[in-house]
Chain A
Amino acid sequence: MRLSLNEVETYLRRAALGCGVPQGYAEDLGASAAWLCTQGFDGVPVVLAELEAWSAGETGLGRLTAAPTPHLAGDGAKPPAAWHSGPSAADLLRAGLGPLSFEPVVQPLLLLAAFGVYSAAKGPGLLLRWDDGTALCRNGAAYLVAGAWADLEAPLPFIQAACASPREQGRRRALLPVLDEGVSVDQGVWTRVQTLVHLSLVPASETSRATGAGAGLVDAD
C-alpha cells in the first residue's frame, strides 16, 4: 500500500507512544521514519522493528559514561534503544559534548535518521562513523563519505559520532519523490504498526459518544 509522508510520521509517532516511548522521543521517531522514507530507506519496517524490540524488553535506555571519552552505553543487560540513543547523541554533539562512542544498537539506521532530523536546523553537520564507513548529515540531507549505506541495516560493533567540519564531503543520497508518489509499505508491516498504534488509543464509551460533535441532535434538521 502507499502512504503519505504525514501518515508515516503520525502513525509511527502513535505506535511509539503505544509502546511507552516518551512523547518527545516518539515525536523524533515519527520524524525519523518520515526522513528515512524521503531518503529512500525502507523506514517503516526499521522503526517497527525498533519498537517491537523495545516492547519485548530487548533494548533499554542508554546512559552516558564519561571515561575515557563520552560513551552512550546500555544498561548492562540490554543494548541501548536507538530511539533514545540517536536523539541523545545528536543532543550531545550539538551541545558541544562530542565526539562520542556508542554501544551497538539494533537499528543503526535510526542513529542516522536522528542525525538527519537534527541536522536540518542551523548548526554543524553530524558524522556517524563505523568500522569501514562514514556518513554525514547536513541540512537534513544524507551523504556517504565512505563505506556503504547497507552497512547501517544491521547491528554494528563499533560506532562513533562527531560534529563534521565544514570541509567534510560525501556523495549525497538521492531523494525519493515521496511527495508525488507516496511511500510504499508492505501491508503486513502496516498491520503490525496499527497494532502498536492501538495500544495508545482509548476504547470509545457511551459517555464519550454522548458528548462528541453531533451528539444528541436529529441530524435531519
Chain B
Amino acid sequence: MPADPQLRATGEPEVPLRPPAQVMRLARLGCFFATRLSFMPTLLRRLGRCGARLRYDRWELDEEGYGTAVLSMRVEERTYSLVAFSQPLAAEARSDRVIAEAWDATFVLYDGVPDPGEIDRLAANAPRQEAGRFSPRDLVLSRANKSVRMFEHVVQRLTAGQQPDRDMLRAVGYLMRTTAVYGNGKFGIADRGRIADRPEFTGAFQAEMLAVYLIRCFTTALAEHVARCRAPITAVALHPHLKRYLGVGNSTGLGMAPFLVNHPVLINNWILARETALARVRSLPTAAPEDIAAFGHLLERARAHIAEWHVEDRQQTEANARLSRDLDRLAVQGRPEARLWDELRPWDRLFGWAEAELGPEAQELLFALMLEPHGELVDGLACCMTASEGGQLDPAMSVGALRRLLQTHYDWALAIDFADPEASRVFWYVSAEKLEPRLGDRSAEAGSELEMSIAVARDIRALAAALETGDAQEPLAVFLLRHPQFRHLVRRAQVIAQHPYGEIRDNLIAASMRPIDLLRCKLSFFGAAKFDPKSDRWTRIAMYQGAPLPEELGAPEADTWCLPVLAPDDATAA
C-alpha cells in the first residue's frame, strides 16, 4: 500500500496496519475517539513548544459582559488575535441552528493585532456572520451561544465567593457552545493557501483549533468578569482545576458529513497517520515499565471519564454501557502484573485480545490509550495529516484497467443490491437555506434530482456497468468524451487506488445509514469528546475539556489531557 513519503521515511512498522476494509466502515468510524494525533492536542503541543502566552490586548466589556475583547497569542514568529464581540441576545433569538441570525458572542481569529480601524471593520461584520464580508487578514470566523443555565450558575457562585457545583460542571462541561467555526476562504476570509506554509499551521485545521482554544479562554474570562462586576469585593476567580475542566461546547450537524466524502486524499492521510501510529506501538517488542504504568493510570481515568459521560440517546447509552463493561475487562487483562507485558510485542497482544473480545468502542478507546504514552514514537505523524492536492485523473489508463481497479477497490460497492429501494432511500442535497448539506427521503421529499455526489457506491456501480460495454483497450480520455457523467468517478476511483483509506466503504444513501457516524469520525480527529447525539443527524460535543490553561502550556503534565475527570474529592469542592 503506498504511503506518504514522510511515513515511509520513519520506517514501516512490523505489525501491519489495519486494512481499509476493516477501518473504513461507518460502524467503526462511528466509534472513533480522539487521540494524541487529533488536531487540538497537536496544536497545544506546538503552543507549548514555542512558549505561546496569552495576552488580553483589549477588554472593553460592560458589567453585563457585553462589548469587545481582543485576546492575542504569539505563536512561533507571528501573533494571532481573537477578536470577540459579546452582545445581548433575546431568549427567543438564541438558537444553535445554523439558520440562526444572532448569537451571544461572535469571533474572528485575526492575523496579527488589529488596529482600531480593523476592529471597527470586524465589529460591523462579525456579528452578522454569514451575512458579513471578511478579508484575507481574517483567518477564522465563529460564533457561540451561552449555555445559559451553566453560565449563570458559574457567575452566581463566583459572585458569592464560591466555586461552581461540580455536578453541574460534569453535566454540561462548558460555558458556551460554538455553532460554526469557518475557515478556508468562507465569506472572504483567508484561503488556506495563505497560511498553509506557516510552521504553526502545519497539520490540519490548526487555525480553527487555535480560534476555539482562544474562545475557551474568553468564555471563562467573561464569566469571571461578570462576577467581578456584580461583587467587586467578594467575587472569586474560577479555581484552575475547574477552569481546566471547562471546555467549549459545539453543536454539529450534517454540514460536516460530506467533507469526509469530498476530500479523499486528506481523509486517507488522516486515517493512514492514525493507523500507522497504532501499528508502530503494536510493533514495539517490549513495553517499558513507565509506559505500562502510564497506560494503567490512563485506563483508570478513562473508566471514570466514561462514568461521567451521560447521554440521552438510547444507542449511545447502550454503547457506553458496553464500553464500561469492556473497560472493566481490559483493566484486568492489562493490569501491570499481567503476564502479557513480559511477552514479545505486548501492545500487539493486548490489542489483538481486544479485537477478539471487546466491542468496537472499547477497541477504539484502547487505540487512543495506547498512543498516549508513546508521543515520541507517533507525534511526528501529525505533520502528515494534510493534503496539498486532490489527485488528478489519469486519462491514459485503459477501460480494462479501470474495470480491474474497481473490482479490487470497490468490490464492497459492486456487491450492494440497489434494486432494493432501501439501498437508495435517502439523498444528500444542498439546502437553499445557508447552503447547508441536508438529507432527504427519496420517496417522500422533493429535490432528489439535485442530489449531491455522495452516493459513491451506487454511482461506481453505474460506472462499472458502462465500462463493461466499452473497449477494454480504449483510453479513458476517449471513454469520457462519450460518458462525461463519469468523469468525477473515474478520477475518484484512481485516487482511491492510491489512497485506500480515503473511501468510506458503506452505502451512504441506504436507509440504515447513520450520519452521526460520519460526524463522530471527523470530530474525533478534531479532538472532540463527550459525544452527545441528539438524533442520528446531529450531536453536541465538548472541545478542549481538560486541556491545559494558557499558563500551563508546555508543562510536562500538560501533554496528556484527554478523557478528563472531575475528581469527587477535589480540594476545590464548593
Residues of A within 8 A of B (CB): 1-7, 10, 14, 22-25, 27-28, 61-64, 84, 87-88, 90-92, 94-97, 118, 120-121, 179-182, 198, 200-205, 207-209, 211-217, 219-221
Contact = CB atoms under 8 A, between A and B. Distances in A.
Contacts of B135: 2, 182
Given A91-B476, A97-B478, A207-B445, A217 B96 contact: yes
A220 B446 contact: no
Contacts of A63: 481
B440 A208 contact: yes
B161 interface: no
A5 B491 CA distance: 23
Contacts of A95: 395-396, 475-478
A202 B535 CA distance: 22
30 contacts: A2-B135, A4-B185, A6-B184, A24-B393, A24-B491, A62-B481, A88-B480, A97-B477, A121-B389, A179-B194, A180-B194, A200-B430, A201-B432, A202-B432, A202-B447, A202-B450, A203-B432, A203-B447, A204-B432, A205-B445, A205-B446, A207-B444, A212-B98, A213-B96, A213-B254, A214-B95, A214-B96, A214-B538, A219-B97, A220-B94
A214 B251 CA distance: 7
B190 A201 contact: no
A121 B389 CA distance: 10
A181 B137 CA distance: 9
Given A5-B191, A91-B477, 13 more contacts: A2-B188, A6-B192, A179-B191, A179-B193, A182-B136, A202-B431, A204-B432, A213-B253, A215-B538, A216-B535, A219-B96, A221-B147, A221-B148
A174 B166 CA distance: 61
A208 B97 CA distance: 12
B42 interface: no
Q: Which 5 A-B pairs have the closest CB atoms?
A: A213-B253, A24-B487, A6-B185, A4-B185, A202-B447
B431 A201 contact: yes
A219 B193 contact: no
A19 B265 CA distance: 28
Given A95-B396, A207-B445, A217 B148 contact: no
**Counting chain B CB atoms within 10 Å of each CB, which of A14, A64, A94, A211 scores highest?**
A211
A23 B502 CA distance: 19
Contact of B253 (A27, A179, A214): A214
B67 interface: no
Contacts of A22: 484-485, 487-488
A120 B184 CA distance: 21
B255 interface: yes
B450 A212 contact: no
B189 interface: yes
A217 B534 contact: yes
B252 interface: yes
Contacts of B453: 23
B149 interface: yes
Contact of B431 (A2, A25, A87, A204): A204
A62 to B, nearest CB: 7
A201 B430 contact: yes
The residue among A121, A205, A216, A220 with the most chain B CB atoms within 10 A of its own CB is A220
Given A22-B487, A180-B136, A215 B97 contact: yes
Most buried by A among B252, B444, B478: B478
Given A23-B453, A24-B488, A213-B538, A121 B188 contact: no
B436 interface: yes
Interface in B88-107: 91, 94-99
